[in-house]
Amino acid sequence: MTAPISATGSQVNPLASMTSSGPADNTQLSSQAFLQLLVAQLQYQDPSKPVDTSSFMNETATLTQVQTMEQSAQASTEMLAAQRAQTASSLVGHTVSYTASDGTTQTGFVSAATISSANPTLKIGDSQIDLSQVQQVLASTTA
């Protein structure tokens, strides 16, 4: 695809209006940006050389693939958050080893889990620690 020609004769960059600042990152092209590029291509095409039908179908299929990948990524993110919440809640009643804020390894009993954020926290004594700080889960203290 070539860049369209504006009325002044200079090339128009359809990506320029899609970013708030700085150069466009083509590795992070959203389905909305892809659709805008496709519309710009159709809008500025040479009437004497219209877009080939098979080329247009390929671009439409690519748009569908981009949308599907975005949906899959969103579903994966949601599943990860649910898995982290489940993991945090399953640690309640267990003793864990964790890295404290001062960098030392400590051991404590998990009395509660807070799962309202993207990073669940565990209540150990008077401290709240991030789930990612847990190094080892020990046997439950109840028989």
At 18-48, the pLDDT tens digits run 444 444 555 566 777 777 877 887 777 777 7
Question: Tokens standing for 39?
Answer: 């519309």
Which pLDDT belongs to residue 35?
A: 78
What is the C-alpha to C-alpha distance for residues 64 and 85, in angstroms, rounded to an integer?
32
What is the C-alpha to C-alpha distance for residues 133 and 143, in angstroms, rounded to an integer?
26
DSSP state of 17: G
How do beta strands 94-99 and 134-140 pair? antiparallel
| Residue extents of the structural domains in the chain | 16-20+27-85, 91-140
Which pLDDT belongs to residue 46?
A: 73
Residue with tokens 């009643």: 93
Which pLDDT belongs to residue 34?
A: 75
In this prediction, the residues of the chain whose per-residue pLDDT falls under 70 are: 1-29, 51, 117, 140-143
Which pLDDT belongs to residue 26?
A: 53
Residue 76, Cα to own-chain centre: how many angstroms? 9
